[in-house]
Amino acid sequence: GEAVPPAQRSSWTSFLKSIASVSGDLSSMTCPPFILSPVSLTEFPAYWCEHPELFAAIADQNTEEQRTLAVVKWFISTLKGQYTSRNESMGSEKKPLNPVLGELFYGKWPDINGRGETQLLVEQVSHHPPITAYAIENKSKGVKLVGHNAQKTSFSGGSIIVKQLGHATLTVKLQSGDVAEYLITLPRLRIDGLWYGAPYIELSESSSIISKNYVCSIDYKGKGYFSGKTHSFKATLNPAPGLGGTLGSHVIEGTWHTTSKFTSGPKTGMEFHNVTGPKEEVTAIGGQTSGEMGEFETRELWKLVAKGIREGDFDMASREKSKIENDQRQRRKDEIAVGTKWPLKHFDHVDADPTYERLGKLGKISPATEDTYLFKENWPPIA
Ligand code: 0T9
């Protein structure tokens, strides 16, 4: 464990031993301080829009083929932020704050160069197991992403394997009045480097982007596989079963944290995506009518815990964290006592998702059906 501060070595070793035995949900495990991040998982959905211009550009395409390529380009361009940004900003992957039930995060990306403003809304819709739901919308372009995610973790060969549960749906309002829908599933993660105290993520297996016209399957490999490079991917776009005709097929290969190009199809040799330039962080905004942050908004709720972690005052961090947890326990007890349930603010939980079932079938994804969280379309009066 070279990256582990000497005073925390034995606690890191016992943490590693315990993750080998506790499998399923790692979110509530106690970790040594050096590995704690001051950022809650409710902030992670902002990674979906670090390139707001690529999100907006999905609306500006003339054909279904171009639009699908724009969706895939936006998706691939989010991976760098989603899976490598903690290593860049904090030196390694860190354990995020585990959101409480009802925790909220609101944000936006400004309208620059006529691309329109993009809004973000996140709600922690379950604590046990942790489930985060989100909506991201560029109203002027008619592009919207709604999704939820949870994780199932296990331990294998010294790495943490994270299976992502949940999915997202991207919708685009077309000029014709129709709505194009894209079902997005999520890759599997392997967290390596644990032994050295310097965890980092590699993606594996595959994920899909499916519409009624196209099935795009993305395969992920790390060092030593098809290109031999870390963070490699290969995306294969084919017309949905039974279609063809004017819709072309494409293969794209590269590394998702840098660049990629077309390796088969009419655009062979052309660059596909390039994320070596700057990204745009979200601007956090208060969801209250006054523009202030309410007590359940993540940066308000975790303010003192985050300050403790950032400033190395771990006694304060753990004291403040206990206060939040005790308050949560009390709320759950009170709810049981009076027979009520915590009301979700922005989402409704439903057992089945017809869009997932219909599009999932085209891409033969499993499971064949999945529960989901429907967005109530109640953006707070912000922006
Ligand atoms: C959705 C993303 C997800 C959330 C994180 C596994 C993980 C929690 C979930 C999947 C985002 O779109 C993408 C990126 C990173 C994922 C996190 C990485 C991570 O380590 C945590 C888990 C819960 C841990 O904190 C494990 C313990 C820790 C000591 C390892 C650094």
d(Cα 242, Cα 213) in Å, to the nearest integer? 9
Q: In this predicted model, what pLDDT tens digit does every residue of 344-360 receive, in sequence order? A: 999 999 999 999 999 99
Instruction: Provide DSSP, 205-226.
Output: EEEEEE-SSEEEEEEEE-TTST
What does the pLDDT read at residue 25?
79
220 or 243, greater pLDDT: 220
Q: What is the mean pLDDT of residues 128-132?
A: 96
Q: How far apart are CA 342 and CA 125, in angstroms?
A: 10
For the Cβ of 93 lying below 6 angstroms from any atom of ligand 1, the answer is yes
- Euclidean distance between CA atoms 100 and 105, whole angstroms: 12
pLDDT-above-70 percentage for the chain: 98
Task: From 47, 90, 162, give the residue whose CB has the most ligand 1 atoms within 8 Å, as the site to mutate.
Answer: 162
ipTM above 0.95, yes or no: yes
For ligand 1, the distance from its centroid to the CA atom of residue 270, given in whole angstroms, is 34
Looking at the chain, which runs of residues are DSSP E strands? 36-40, 95-97, 104-109, 118-126, 131-138, 143-156, 159-165, 168-173, 179-184, 188-192, 200-210, 214-221, 232-239, 250-255, 259-264, 271-274, 283-284, 347-350, 372-375
Answer whether 72 contacts ligand 1 (Cβ < 6 A).
Answer: no
The total number of residues shown for the chain amounts to 383
Residue to substitute in 14, 44, 257 for testing ligand 1 pocket (most ligand atoms within 8 angstroms of CB): 44
Any atom of ligand 1 within 6 Å of the Cβ of 31: yes
Q: Which residue's CA is minimally distant from atom 24 of ligand 1?
A: 95
Q: Coil, strand, or helix at residue 229?
A: coil
Over residues 251-267, the mean pLDDT reads 98
pLDDT at 212 over 90: yes
Return the pLDDT at 113.
92
Task: Quote the pLDDT of residue 28.
Answer: 76
- 114 backbone φψ class: left, alpha, beta (φ>0; ψ -120 to 50): left
CA 162 to ligand 1: nearest atom: 6
Q: Which atom of ligand 1 is nearest to the CA of 27?
A: 23
From 352, 346, 354, 344, select the one nearest 371 (Cα to Cα): 352
Pairing of strands 36-40, 95-97: parallel
Query: Given this model, what pLDDT does residue 291 score?
Result: 87
Does ligand 1 come within 6 angstroms of the Cβ of 162?
yes
**Cα separation values, 236 from 39, 160, 242, Å:** 35, 28, 17
Confidence at residue 383, expressed as pLDDT on a 0 to 100 scale: 47
What does the pLDDT average to over 175-193?
97
- pLDDT (tens digit, 9 = 90+) per residue, 74-85? 999 999 999 999
Q: For position 225, what pLDDT does the model report? A: 67
pLDDT in tens, 285-312: 999 988 899 999 999 999 999 999 999 9
Instruction: DSSP letter for 114, please.
Output: T
Per-residue pLDDT reduced to its tens digit, 24-76:
778 878 889 999 999 999 999 999 999 999 999 999 999 999 999 999 999 99
pLDDT at 369: 95
Single-letter code of the amino acid located at 3: A
Burial class (CB in 10 A: 0-12, 13-18, 19+), 93: buried
For all residues of the chain together, what is the average pLDDT? 95
Distance (Å) from CA 222 to ligand 1 centroid: 18
Distance 191 CA to ligand 1 centre (A): 8
Distance (angstroms) between ligand 1 centre and the Cα of 268 equals 35
Highest average pLDDT, of 90-99, 152-161, 224-233, comes from: 90-99
Evaluate the CA torsion angle 356, 359, 361, 364 in order and state its sign.
negative
What's the rounded Cα separation, in Å, for the pair 338 and 331?
A: 11
